[in-house]
Amino acid sequence: MILVLKFFGSTGVASGHPGVVKGLLGMEQTQRIGIIGGSGLGQHLLMPGDGKTVDIQTPFGPPAAPPILADWKGIPVAILARHGPGHIFNPTQIPYRANIYALKMLGCRWILASGAVGSLNENLHPRQLVLVDQAIDRTVHRVPTFFDHAAVHVDFAEPVCEKLRNIVYDSRSELTADAVVHPRGTYVCMEGPAFSTRAESRLHRSWGGDLIGMTLLPEAKLAREAEISYTSIALITDYDAWKPHAPGQAPMELMREIISHLQVASENALHLIRAALGRIWEARAEDFPSHRALELAIFSDKAKIKPESRQRLEAIWEKYFPATH
């Protein structure tokens, strides 16, 4: 089923019912948990035929793929393939702003994001999961903000929502004994799409980086600006370039090994997401710190912001403007 949405509206603030937010065009809509991952995530998380595809337009164009709206055991979710159908967008080309804005329009107040990474830490092994808690931004070609026409400075000392990260970490108890979930790690986000040189990989290790990847940023920054609670589940596939591979290992053999690591990590990540959804939904009436990220962040004189600029980002910041009659 395909639902077409071509409007821009305000998600506003939570209404009296803990499962409902004041939504698009002033209507009430269901709160949702957003899930961002690989192109096949929806197919793995949902049963065949579950959910409806949403053709949605944002002020930043369409998202990478039409989100899938579904109820997972009674919990409303919105699933988005970060790289688009068939993995067509490389990390620089991903429409990050459209992706996050679309999830905001659909009522998402939390985002569970997953992505493959290389390990920069001898103690973080392939097939294991890491709940990112810090980040180093090495991207240079991406727009990292929604606010092109205003001075808005969000607090980003903690790049993921600590409250949400802790909920996800506590959910690890429902995984099998061989599934390892690390509670924290520093993610170095590089531009790509080429992988690191060995010298770069060693440099990132010297900085205290634990993981190397290409998609955490600006995704996490935009989620913070949109007042969405965001956390990242990193799936380790290899040790990056700093650690030489086994002598004589053929490239195709190495590729099969990495794919195998990714498959195991992906399955464990899906189990972790499923386990976390119920715990997040139980806390849906609570106000997470990320849900108030713009309270002290808008430095511009609101009266000087052009009406068209204000309206363009209505879904994100409208509640911070004085009511007009």
Active site residue 170: no
Catalytic residue among 50, 71, 240, 301: 240
| End-to-end alpha carbon distance in the chain | 39
CB-based contacts of 232, cutoff 8 Å, min separation 6: 113, 114, 115, 131, 132, 160, 187, 216, 220
Catalytic residue among 178, 210, 238, 287: 238
Backbone torsions φ then ψ of 65, nearest 5 degrees: -150, 150
The tokens for 34 are: 């957003």
Cis peptide before 218 (omega within 30 of 0): yes
β strands within the chain, DSSP E: 2-5, 20-22, 28-30, 32-37, 52-56, 68-72, 75-81, 108-119, 129-131, 134-138, 181-182, 186-190, 211-213, 229-238
Active site residue 238: yes
Question: How many Cβ atoms sit within 10 Å of the Cβ of residue 13?
Answer: 13
Q: Any idea what the Cα angle at residue 231 is, between residues 289 and 160, rounded to 5°?
A: 55
Q: Which residues are catalytic?
A: 238, 240
